Structure 1
């Protein structure tokens, strides 16, 4: 039997993933040293107030999806957070590998 709530949750997660991917593609095109440092700080748990607007928007998608979709259930919020976290981790790893940085104890160094 069709479960509408699961479909709605899937649609919401897909919408956020699509938006996050669009922002990551934009960041990839306009990668600057400031953005690269901010991404590494984000990955390493740095202070969030210093991030460029694009990264702050990604964090808002990840941590406060209810700002964009009203009445979002907890399961969907959790899944959105996990999916965007994974996307960010993969993006940071990809960018750092392209730059020749290596990861030691979870932190990237040159």
Structure 2
């Protein structure tokens, strides 16, 4: 859409990306997915960042602001089951696997 722009993409691995075997509640909450990105912006190593809004804290560090939000797609989470059984047809006492404290509390 903007052929006159030259863009270089820098992939930033965050603490949350590297600690995949630890529950989010044990490694420091949402900030672990954005700290390195915020630091790259504040040090001017990158000019802009694109990230999942669910990981962005409600209070941003001074000097940073949300300047655009992409059009939202379907926001619902997907439930994956064996043989297509629906959530309301799961037997009593079924175990649900999730890596999200938020999803666990919603269940």
Larger helix share, 1 or 2 = 1
Whether TM-score is above 0.5 comes out as no
| Max Rg structure | 2
Please state which band the TM-score falls in when normalised by the shorter chain. Answer: 0.3 to 0.5
Relative contact order, higher structure (CA 8 A, sep 6+): 1
Larger strand share, 1 or 2 = 1
Normalization by structure 2: what TM-score?
0.36
